[in-house]
Structure 1
Amino acid sequence: MLEVVEPVDESRTAIAFATEPIFASLSNLLGDYENLPNVPDEIRQFELDELELQKGLSQLGKGLQFCHNDAKIVHGNLVPDAIFVNAKGDWKIAGFGFSTFLSRDPNVPTPVEYWNYDHELHSYCQRDLNYQAPEYVLDQRLDPSNDMFGIGCLAYSILNKGVTLLQTRGNLNTYRQQIDRINHQQYEKLPAHLADAMTRLITREPSMRMSAVEFQSSKFFDNILVSTMKYMENFAEKTRDDKGQFMKGLLRVLPQFPERVLYRKILPCLLDELKDHALLPYTLPNVFYIIQKMSPKEFEEKVLPSLKPIFLVREPMQNLLTLLEKIELLHQKASGVVFKEDIMPLVYCALEPKNPPSVQEKALKTVPSIMETLDYTTVKASLFPRIATLFAQTTTLSVKVNTLLCFLTIMKVLDKFTITEKLIPLLRNIKTREVNVTMATLQVYQEMGKYVEKEIIGTSIIPHLWNLALGPNLKAEQFEKFMTIIQELSDKVHQQHLRHLQELKKLEDQTKSFSAASDPAAANGNSTLDDFEKLVQGGSGVAPSSLTSNSNRASSTENPFKISSDNPFANTGSQDSLDMFGDMSSSLPQVSSKPVSFPSSTPVMKPAAPIMFGATSNDGFGSRPMTPTSNSTSFQQPQHNGFGSKSAMNSITPTPTAASSPFTIPPLNKPLTGSTSTSAYTSPARNTFSQPQQKPAGTPPLSHTLGNLSSSNSAFGGFQSAAPMAGGIQPMAPSNMGGFQSQQNGNSGGMGFGMGMTSTPALTPSRPTSMMPLAPMTPLQPINTGNKGFGSPGQNNSQHKGKNSDLGMFDPFS
């Protein structure tokens, strides 16, 4: 009977009640989908198996037996719409809207109200004439045999895919005609035993029909499979011994059941019995047989929730052995995450030291087959510690050997630290010298040599292998195997360490070579200066002879601005003489846009000579070029150095200098601020006298060309601006830079962009901190000198304005 789990709930618009979960009605399974808005594929493709038909009809007979004998009620309308199939596949009787209670007195007939089929009503609202017994329709007699006639018509309709035996279309006359021929109906297409039962169900006389009890006892249901399902319907009433005996025999008949019956009928009953732990060794084999036929999704949804509680059950131990034997099947049916989280606790439980050795050994043998599913974290944090504990505590030889084989398997997942700090000390503590343990340890060490560093192999593995190899129980061939592996590991250490040493030697040689190439002190004599000039000149193509002649000129007292054929500033009378920068490019150093830094170490001895435009002087702080002025060929220098001391005018002696140019050009991409110091080499003591100056508004930016390196208030190597100067060129007041200063419009100007070297004995490279603001540029004018020399510092050069100059050149630095 269909069970109602919630009572009727009545409202103004509906009457509702809840029953047990159902799959479909029998009418739906026969192809009638009128009451289904959406037909699932499982219902649309459903085909009844003969065993399902036998089981279903037997259950209907049992339901009618209860109605007739216990409830004293006649159903009165056994049609496919009134039979439901629940989630387990059981057939349940419903649709008692037309049922009638029998009279309590067997001698008093049950009154029957006359009934006639109404075509204006829906078929759900009245009895179906095709399933009604003739004594009820024609004789108005109500009897339990009415339902037995209906179950016969129902069985015929099921076997004919919904086609009924009586096809009256609600017409009473047609019904009479077909009932008159009912006794001559043939059932050749039906199963033999069911055909015999049909002749005793579909008859005109009620007395000739079999009862519900006789129907269940017919040969049609005399089947081992049907009997098995009948027994399982009352399984909860059986004793534990009967259940155990039934479970043992069930495994032999399970292959005969259809899969749908196994999943819906047999499996739910078996899962309910898992609660009885004493029957687990008998129940689990049947469960695992059904699991083999299931998909992973069905297993995780239907079976795994019931299996998880028994994974931690230790008693009886046969339970763990049965589960461990099927661990590979569980591995196949469960996904990686599900297996790691839900099934691995079974393995952890079996690996506990207090379990019998048979269970431990069984669990250890399952580890290699499940390693593919486990990740690094699970192996290191959960599996390896349990195996290591079992290895250290077990006294069973077979268990210890199997733990070593597990180490051999999980080593591919472990990290080097765990192998080095945990596994190797564990192996070194082996006390036994049994041959099986020793040879298994050899295999572990051989595999370990593929993953650990050469230092571990040489200091930990090989010494222990020698200790094991000299054991007294080894045979000759076993000792030879030890020697082979020891030699392989030794060769590996030899090759890797030799390669390491060779790489270190190569790296050391490369470092020395690079240091020698980048060290200026490695050059001989004055070659350092030559190499530097070649570097800064780039591809200017200066020949060594040119460098030599420049060096010779630097050591002489000849005026470098004398008109000669090799003077790059001489006026040759051609238009090319005006191309100042083209001529200067072959003799002047290339000026970079970044500051040029020079090594402060390894000074070289060089005569104090004119570096760029003038002679050198020694003022106690090093060499610097003198700046020639207007009318005299002599060189004029300040009478005071940066600290107020007198400088030797004619003392020209070799002075240690850096093997490089004495000045730097600040980078173009950095802003310039006013300062009294512009030299690239400054004394640490002199920097304290530097006074920062603010750049006046409107000052034009400094250009990267040499022509913008001087302004109207600066004296630069014998050239001066054409801007009017009131006081001419005057010696500088004591300051932190050697050079000259000029007076413009009678005002004292700051230090110009002098190219002389600072008077310091120890040259320290530093970046220019700031620069004087530059006055607006004026057109280039020839320097007006009356004589072939240069004027004295105190002479006003403005009086020579307009006269021809012996140099015949323009000031390229304005």
Structure 2
Amino acid sequence: MFSKFASDLSKSFNSNITNNYSLSQEPTSLSGPWKIYDAKGKKTKKAVSVFIFEKKSLEPPGGAALGGRSSGGSGLKRAHEEVVERLRKEASSLARLRHPSVLELVEPVEDTRGGGLMFATEPVTASLAGLLQEKDEQEKAGGVGGRRSRYVIEEENGQKRRRELEIDELEIQKGLLQIAKALEFLHESAGLVHANLTPEAIFVNAKSDWKISGLSFSTPPDNSTKATSVTPISLSEVLNYDARLPSYVQLNLDYTSPDFVMDGNVTPAADMFSLGMLIIALYNSPHKSPMEFHGSTTSYKRAFSAQSSVPNKTNNFMSSQPMPRDVVNGVLDRLITRRPAQRINAREFQQAQYFDNILVSTIRFLDSLPAKTPNEKQQFLRGLPRILKEFPKSVMEKKVLPALLEETKDRELLALVLQNCFKIIQMLPAGKRAFTEKVIPKLRETFLAPSKGPAQERDSLKEAGLMVLLENISVAAENCGGKEFKDDILPIVSYALESPTHSLVDAALRTLPVVLPILDFSTIKNELFPVIATIFAKTSSMGIKIRGLEAFRTLCGGGGDDQDGLQGDGLTGVVEAAKPKSNVSILDKYTIQEKVVPLLKGIKTKEPAVMMAALDVFKAIGPQVDSDFLAVDVLPILWQFSLGPLLNLAQFQAYMVQIKSLSARVENEQTRKLQELGATNAPTTSRNEFMSFGGLPGTNGLDTTNGDGGGDFEALVRGNQGATTGSDMLGLLQIASGQQEMLRQPQHFPGQRLQYLLHRATLLLRKPREDSGPSHRTIL
């Protein structure tokens, strides 16, 4: 979303930056004359920071006119023009200077409406001055937890969160080393003096690296012979403080070397004095230079006329807080000196005892990792896990983790890199965010992007790293949401399942207990299960076959312990209460019956290990399917498997226990069904009795003298149900004439009535024939 200012820019004239980037609505930080906006490329989606300077910020509070004098107004106008050109020089210098510790320019400087300037750089968090001010406010509020950070960033999903900012001892050491490297580059390679090295001139990027900028006053040193396009500054002009202009567009005397003010000399040693003053500010409280001159060179000269009024070793360099011994001895005492010749240069500074500790050495090695030999890289990555816990969490997240992920492109180091990355994710309090934002994109790029090399080479180089991911699948699951896991991690697991390497397939199948609870039913049934089924059906490896059976057991609800989910074993005759199951089937009953069971039935090998793994699957299947399916489809397979020639007695008995258990369930359920049906049906006669046809009985067949009239009596005393109706007579006639099928139509004789008529007809047909032929009159 464009800010109002950026929107006005885009409406007023054609700007490359405003046309190609979406800027945050408000500036995320300020640095001197610059407002800094988070921005993202509209097409590339690349994150950048856009620096915008508004010329109107130079206007005095009362307006442009001074005392109504035109000469004063014209002088101010010229001063404004000089400031704009000086700030333009800052961006132009960044374009010419390419170094890892110099702020990277992405889009060159452009003019804005109203005479302002704008340019784009790599993403930055804030200036060092802003972070030090933040630290001051936190300390006043009772520590780091006493006040929330003012710096807010917007996530890809539109949510906003506050940046975590931390300046601890290691951050300071790491940052100072980076600044020293930048100064070494400026002094020795570029042939320049920074000339205004202050906290405002240093930016902390998204990776927590410190970068030099603020090159508005950069200049070649006196008597330089190195060719350069940078115009030398005039000390007399830049030291002349102009009260009409904001202080942040002028040289900051609080960090300036006496070489400038006292001697009028411009040498690289001046930057080293400023570096010393910056170090004092890092440890001081509040975090600023211990000397304040408010732009007055007179005050500056007065202070430096006496030893006691300037920072030195005897007054703890005027810091209100104690400083590390190695900072005082060997660093500040060799930077804060009156004479330039007594100061160490940028290269010597980096060799100070202050930086001689394992964490700083690790960071320095990490910075130079691309230039190391393969053996050195491997040795470093193997030893790194031992000291990771000693790093501050912010350094691990912003510095170590991104640097390691850059090495994933080296396939020889992939496994070692990922081992360290997963260890870091486990240690980070914000591991979920780091995994989602930093690790997942690299995993997709590494394992799912098409490779340009030969297929065999690609697989062999990736497999070790892929194995590390599979072994840490629980870490991945804990640190990403369900959607991220399905979209980004599951395709990698599927890639492993389809590998021709058995150990990789085995490892992928072992991830299922972690993977399955995260995925939805549709994904499991339609995407994951078919892959597992294909592997199981086609594999020639007994190990993969067993692992596939374990996967089926999990998919069908099998738990970690042997559970058959049955109500007793069918041997005691006592139906036990159903035990609660700890696992529910993930697959539906249809898939189990139509897909899983046929796969089990198709097992050819009779190896005991496979047979027993299959038995575990049947134990999981048992509670999930109907009893008739158990009887018709499952029990025959179990009997077939139980008779395998390679099973020992204990294994055969295990099969028999399961067969008897399932048989008991089938028997119990079938018995219950028949009992429920029998409760509503009258007893029926045997087939032989029903099929014995004789002559039709006479009228005396309706009496009870022979003991067969009990049914008639019972029907009679119950009311109409027992009375012989016209339709009953028709039914009896139909039976007598061999049309029994009509009686089986429920619309004619429903339920118990049909049973009663069949019983009556049977009784009639059983009586001895008394007439020579059937007598309709007798029946009626």
Say which of 200, 204, 217 aligns to 1:85. Answer: 204
C-alpha displacement at 1:159, in angstroms?
Answer: 1.0
Aligned to 1:168: 293
CA contact 1:469–1:482 (8 Å) conserved in 2: yes
User: What's the C-alpha RMSD, in Å, of the aligned pairs?
Assistant: 3.3
Deviations 1:348-404 (A, max 9, x none): 22223x622222221222212322112222222222222222222223222222211
Cα distance in 2 for partners of 1:280, 1:86 equals 26
Cα distance in 2 for partners of 1:31, 1:45 equals 15
Say which of 538, 545, 554 aligns to 1:393. Answer: 538
Cα distance in 1 for partners of 2:110, 2:135 equals 26
Deviations 1:84-118 (A, max 9, x none): 111111111121222222245579x9974363434
Cα distance in 2 for partners of 1:235, 1:29 equals 28
Cα distance in 2 for partners of 1:104, 1:207 equals 16
Q: Which amino acid aligns with 1:300?
A: T
* 1:355-394 correspondence runs (5 A): 355-394=500-539
- Give the % identical residues: 40
* 1:324-723 correspondence runs (5 A): 324-352=470-498, 355-411=500-556, 412-508=585-681, 522=721
Aligned to 1:770: none
Could you state the TM-score of these two structures normalised by the residue count of structure 1?
Answer: 0.60
Change (3 A) 1:273 1:138: same
Say which of 359, 363, 370 aligns to 1:225. Answer: 359
Aligned to 2:401: 267
Cα distance in 2 for partners of 1:21, 1:524 equals 98
Change (3 A) 1:123 1:476: same
Change (3 A) 1:455 1:43: closer
190-199 or 7-16, larger mean C-alpha shift: 7-16
CA contact 1:28–1:43 (8 Å) conserved in 2: no
CA contact 1:29–1:43 (8 Å) conserved in 2: no
Cα distance in 2 for partners of 1:267, 1:376 equals 35
Q: How many residues align?
A: 524
Say which of 32, 35, 40 aligns to 2:151. Answer: 40
Aligned to 1:30: 132
Say which of 238, 246, 258 aligns to 2:392. Answer: 258
C-alpha displacement at 1:239, in angstroms?
Answer: 4.5
Change (3 A) 1:506 1:297: farther
Cα distance in 2 for partners of 1:211, 1:88 equals 27
Cα distance in 1 for partners of 2:107, 2:234 equals 32
Cα distance in 2 for partners of 1:429, 1:73 equals 79
Cα distance in 2 for partners of 1:45, 1:298 equals 12
Say which of 356, 371, 378 aligns to 1:244. Answer: 378
Cα distance in 1 for partners of 2:193, 2:166 equals 30
C-alpha displacement at 1:508, in angstroms?
Answer: 4.5
**Structure 1 stretches of 5 or more lacking a match?**
529-598, 604-814
CA contact 2:397–2:434 (8 Å) conserved in 1: no
C-alpha displacement at 1:262, in angstroms?
Answer: 1.6
Deviations 1:68-91 (A, max 9, x none): 222222222112111111111111
- Kindly indicate whether residue 197 of structure 2 is the aligned counterpart of residue 64 of structure 1: no
Q: Which amino acid aligns with 1:392?
A: A
Cα distance in 1 for partners of 2:172, 2:534 equals 57
- Kindly indicate whether residue 108 of structure 2 is the aligned counterpart of residue 7 of structure 1: yes
Q: Which amino acid aligns with 2:473?
A: I
Q: Which has the larger radius of gyration?
A: 1
Aligned to 2:757: none
Cα distance in 2 for partners of 1:427, 1:491 equals 22
Deviations 1:644-681 (A, max 9, x none): xxxxxxxxxxxxxxxxxxxxxxxxxxxxxxxxxxxxxx
Aligned to 2:701: none
Deviations 1:779-802 (A, max 9, x none): xxxxxxxxxxxxxxxxxxxxxxxx
CA contact 1:401–1:436 (8 Å) conserved in 2: yes
Cα distance in 1 for partners of 2:162, 2:130 equals 7
CA contact 1:314–1:320 (8 Å) conserved in 2: no
Q: Which amino acid aligns with 1:77?
A: N
C-alpha displacement at 1:135, in angstroms?
Answer: 2.6
Say which of 427, 444, 459 aligns to 1:308. Answer: 444
Cα distance in 1 for partners of 2:135, 2:529 equals 58
C-alpha displacement at 1:25, in angstroms?
Answer: 0.6
Aligned to 2:173: 54
Match of 2:106, SS state, is strand
Aligned to 1:609: none
- Kindly indicate whether residue 189 of structure 2 is the aligned counterpart of residue 189 of structure 1: no
Cα distance in 2 for partners of 1:213, 1:522 equals 115
Deviations 1:410-463 (A, max 9, x none): 011122222222222221222222222222222211221111111121122222
Aligned to 2:276: 152
Deviations 1:173-206 (A, max 9, x none): 4433432223443258111111121011111122
Cα distance in 2 for partners of 1:351, 1:282 equals 22
311-320 or 1-10, larger mean C-alpha shift: 311-320
Match of 2:623, SS state, is coil
Change (3 A) 1:255 1:220: same
C-alpha displacement at 1:158, in angstroms?
Answer: 1.2
Q: Which amino acid aligns with 1:69?
A: E
Aligned to 2:565: none
Cα distance in 2 for partners of 1:454, 1:45 equals 60
C-alpha displacement at 1:119, in angstroms?
Answer: 4.1
C-alpha displacement at 1:483, in angstroms?
Answer: 2.1
CA contact 2:217–2:233 (8 Å) conserved in 1: no
Deviations 1:530-576 (A, max 9, x none): xxxxxxxxxxxxxxxxxxxxxxxxxxxxxxxxxxxxxxxxxxxxxxx
Aligned to 1:678: none
Q: Which amino acid aligns with 1:40?
A: Y
165-174 or 55-64, larger mean C-alpha shift: 165-174
Change (3 A) 1:44 1:361: closer
Say which of 379, 386, 410 aligns to 1:276. Answer: 410
Match of 2:109, SS state, is strand
Aligned to 1:201: 335
CA contact 1:29–1:44 (8 Å) conserved in 2: no
C-alpha displacement at 1:524, in angstroms?
Answer: 5.0
Match of 2:624, SS state, is coil
Could you state the TM-score of these two structures normalised by the residue count of structure 2?
Answer: 0.62
Cα distance in 2 for partners of 1:271, 1:9 equals 34
Match of 1:64, SS state, is helix
Q: Which amino acid aligns with 2:327?
A: L
CA contact 2:166–2:394 (8 Å) conserved in 1: no
Q: Which amino acid aligns with 1:476?
A: L
Aligned to 2:699: none
C-alpha displacement at 1:244, in angstroms?
Answer: 3.4
Identify the structure with the greater helix proportion.
2
Match of 1:175, SS state, is helix
C-alpha displacement at 1:32, in angstroms?
Answer: 6.4
Cα distance in 2 for partners of 1:365, 1:32 equals 48
Match of 1:7, SS state, is strand
Say which of 119, 125, 130 aligns to 1:17. Answer: 119
Aligned to 2:560: none
Q: Which amino acid aligns with 1:297?
A: R
Cα distance in 2 for partners of 1:304, 1:361 equals 23
Change (3 A) 1:402 1:508: same
Deviations 1:585-644 (A, max 9, x none): xxxxxxxxxxxxxx99999xxxxxxxxxxxxxxxxxxxxxxxxxxxxxxxxxxxxxxxxx
Match of 1:23, SS state, is strand
Aligned to 1:76: 195
C-alpha displacement at 1:211, in angstroms?
Answer: 1.2
